[in-house]
Structure 1
Amino acid sequence: MTSDGTWGALAGVRVLDLSQALSGPLCAQLLADHGADVIKVEPPSGDMGRQIGGHRDTDTEHAFGALFANCNRNKRSIVLDLKSDQGKATLLALADRADILIENFRAGVMDRLGLSYEVLSVRNPRLVYAAIRGFGDPRSGKSPYVDRPAFDLVAQAMGGIVSTTGAETPVPIGAPWGDSVPAIMTAYGIVLALLTARTTGKGQFVDVSMVDVIASLCHEQYQAYSIKNIVPTPQGSRNRHLVPFGIFKAADGWVAVCAPHRAQWTELCRVMQRSDLLDDVRFATDDARRANAVEIEAMIEAFTTLHTRKQLDNMIDGSFPFGPVFDAHDLMTDPHFAARDMRISIEQPGAEPVIVPGVPVKLSQTPGRVARRAPRLGEHTQAILAELRLDGK
């Protein structure tokens, strides 16, 4: 921490977060976790995300639910009605002093409010303006779907990733990848633009499509179709290219077993006490094991079902990639997450403290941290107006 109370790699960087729900707020939080001063600009009704995720039975305030707590920590909140002249004037004053602005409205909303990138960048040429939309912004290429709304599920579906998950019926990823990964990519783009702005004095427009980001992760689909004109289908919990490489049933849950190459396969055979398999021509090479996947996977599951996750972990002892399938209880109790500061207890207004994930990117010289809880609606309005000398005093 510096003498003025700032900390982290982004100390001194001011961010205006006009976004709601998950993708934009998470993007802004990633910057806040590393010291940026993130001002969350909310309408009088508040971010819709405040009510998502539920409340404790003992919560007397209902200031915000679990989702909001997880993606709005380290921020300050100001309430502005951007449909009013006063709200717009205050936003312009804030933007004049900001380094970054993040929004995830539908294309054209900020333009119609008179708060477009073009308007703001004339006033503040160094401003980095980031927009997260389902199908991107027409400034970078107008999608035929540009006017459609999108949630996480739509991004996963149209981005292609759902087509290869599940067993027979496509199944979305349980975690909200369609929101979360675009948030990470946008934070990455913002930092790139910020570095350029510090060198050239000029900001730029950062355009991220949720669907584009998910499509960019679908390497198998691109490769299979472009090379062999194959459309990959759902592959269940096993990998069609690497064997054995998948999720297997244990006596008390499920485990991940990854032993696709000779050295790893040898160790797995040792653990299963099946040295005879090493001399079997059907399993002698990576290609042979892939061709006989069904038989191999049946043998492995016959073995893993006889043992608990802990017993398997002890037997394998790091000799090849292996891990139990963790659930929420495991995330809260396993020593790895305590050792890595990935379980943070944080204040919850009107209720007992809640646990939120820690900061996953560890910097040795300028570490990020969870410094404060998510804000109440408009909690810092007067303080922020006073900083801008817009409080009438």
Structure 2
Amino acid sequence: MTDISDENGCWKSHRSGPLSGVTVLDVTRVVAGPFCSMLLADLGATVIKVENPDEPDYARTFPPFVSSDEEQLSAFFAQFNRNKLGITLNLKSQEGKDLLMKLVGNVDILVENFRPGTMEKLGLGFDTLSTVNKRLVYTAISGFGRTGPNSSKPAYDNTGQAAGGLWSMNGYADRPPVRVGTIIGDLSASLYAAIGTIAALREAERTGKGQVVDVSQQDSILTLTENAVVRYTTQKEVASPLGNDHPFVSPYGQFACKDGYVFFGGYTDKFWAITCAMFGEPDKAIDPELDTMEKRFEPTTARTKVKPLLERWFSAFTKAELEDMAGDKVPLSAIKTIAEVVEDPHVAARNMIVNVPVAGKLIGMFGLPIKLSGREEEPNDKAPAPGEHNDLVFAKLAGITSEEVARLKKAGAI
């Protein structure tokens, strides 16, 4: 494995972690791909972000922006590209292609999120790249995957949500379906890609043979549909929007309180009895209409008996008061705004809001949710400027002098 170091043998941005010593070429843009490689970087890999010198990652133009006297930078871009190095390569030029081949010979992983066939058209597909590195793990993220009749279709996050079935299930029964309120197609594909990449890397280390990790947004979204697939395959029942209700347990959803809403999931007999006692009406736990999970889930009972009872109880208290009452006895959580989440002491205790340098300022972003007992988390490095590390990366991985780098830049190859 190749590590990148300065003249003293230590790369100033090198990060510790279980993937320390692993080198990744990140030929991706926007989120489906950059998030995958960011996770690898957070876990210690040396990730080199590759951008076209004339058309850098257009996520750099996404708000919000952070400004200084010298520059204005995208915090959105920084959130998904922290802890990486940055180089530029024009993969349409022959010299740019040749240079990528040299880099590939000295890395462990390449991640790309082009439409299937794009890298092959450039003469840079896995079969070609593996001729210079038999151990290469080639991770490809796309809308529909590298095989199947839809593989060449263009796709965005919403494509995954639509084609994977999740969109059709979200929202309310009396209204049109609603997309999930985040780019869950991009994010879920990146998560699966990170898992697949690490698995393939383990295989390459064991056997000396690399492979393609093929991850589709549609496939990824399909796995997030919970019980919808088996409901259809066993009963031909098509999942449809249920609002905040659950398809087979109750009470389990959103309930109004004095200053907002809470999630309450006390559907088991145990939690139901604790809740009834907590609100001073223990007899409701043995009410013959409400004394079993099955009875409480029956649609009419859930709508006319259970929900009104909970709303009466909850309406007298604030979110914070209800959380204090529930403690660790029953599953009840405030439905928090992002502001409340960012300021949550528990989130802080988990180090889930981390500071990342952007335009000379420290900006709070979500942290790494993977907590390893054998590793102490370290400060985050900024996202790279386009081509910021050209001289160092090309010198260390491709054996190119600074004079040659200057020539290649003038020629438009980098």
Could you tell me the TM-score, scaled by structure 1's length?
0.94
1:269 Cα deviation after fit: 0.8
Amino acid at match of 2:308: A
* SS of 2:381 mapped into structure 1: coil
Is 1:364 aligned with 2:369? no
Determine if contact 1:347/1:353 at 8 Å carries over to the other structure.
yes
Determine if contact 2:66/2:358 at 8 Å carries over to the other structure.
no
Which stretch shows the higher mean deviation, 231-240 or 197-206? 231-240
Mapped to 2, the partners of 1:28 and 1:348 lie a distance apart of 19
Identity %: 36
* SS of 1:86 mapped into structure 2: helix
* SS of 1:122 mapped into structure 2: coil
Among residues 2, 14, 36, which one is paired with 2:23 in the alignment?
14
Q: Deviations over 1:180-227 (max 9, x none)?
A: 011000000001100000010000011001001111222321111111
Which residue is equivalent to 1:166?
171
Which residue is equivalent to 1:283?
290
1:228 Cα deviation after fit: 1.0
1:6 Cα deviation after fit: 4.8
Which residue is equivalent to 2:46?
37
Is 1:205 aligned with 2:215? no
Determine if contact 1:19/1:105 at 8 Å carries over to the other structure.
yes
Among residues 298, 322, 326, which one is paired with 2:308 in the alignment?
298
Which stretch shows the higher mean deviation, 258-267 or 382-391? 382-391
The unaligned stretches of length 5 or more in structure 1 are none
1:121 Cα deviation after fit: 0.8
Which stretch shows the higher mean deviation, 165-174 or 207-216? 165-174
Q: CA RMSD, aligned part only?
A: 1.6
Q: Deviations over 1:122-170 (max 9, x none)?
A: 21100000000000013xxx2x222211111110111111222111321
Which residue is equivalent to 1:391?
401
Mapped to 2, the partners of 1:302 and 1:117 lie a distance apart of 61
1:59 Cα deviation after fit: 7.2
Which residue is equivalent to 1:92?
101
Amino acid at match of 1:235: L
Mapped to 2, the partners of 1:206 and 1:107 lie a distance apart of 12
1:68 Cα deviation after fit: 0.8
Is 1:149 aligned with 2:159? no
1:263-342 alignment runs, 5 A limit: 263-291=270-298, 292-294=301-303, 295-342=305-352
The unaligned stretches of length 5 or more in structure 2 are 1-8, 404-414
Determine if contact 1:9/1:367 at 8 Å carries over to the other structure.
no
Mapped to 2, the partners of 1:225 and 1:267 lie a distance apart of 35
Amino acid at match of 2:156: F
Amino acid at match of 1:171: V
Could you tell me the TM-score, scaled by structure 2's length?
0.90
Mapped to 2, the partners of 1:303 and 1:272 lie a distance apart of 7
Q: Deviations over 1:19-62 (max 9, x none)?
A: 00101000000100011000000001211111113314667512
1:277 Cα deviation after fit: 1.0
Which stretch shows the higher mean deviation, 374-383 or 122-131? 374-383
* SS of 2:114 mapped into structure 1: coil
1:110-189 alignment runs, 5 A limit: 110-138=119-147, 142=148, 144-168=149-173, 169-189=176-196
Determine if contact 1:13/1:36 at 8 Å carries over to the other structure.
yes
Q: 1:57 to 1:380 in 2, by over 3 A?
A: closer
Which stretch shows the higher mean deviation, 215-224 or 200-209? 215-224
Which residue is equivalent to 2:382?
373
Determine if contact 1:152/1:178 at 8 Å carries over to the other structure.
yes
Q: Deviations over 1:296-323 (max 9, x none)?
A: 0122122212211011112112211111
Mapped to 1, the partners of 2:172 and 2:25 lie a distance apart of 42
Q: 1:175 to 1:225 in 2, by over 3 A?
A: same
Q: 1:222 to 1:34 in 2, by over 3 A?
A: same
Mapped to 2, the partners of 1:111 and 1:233 lie a distance apart of 40
Mapped to 1, the partners of 2:235 and 2:244 lie a distance apart of 23
1:366 Cα deviation after fit: 3.5
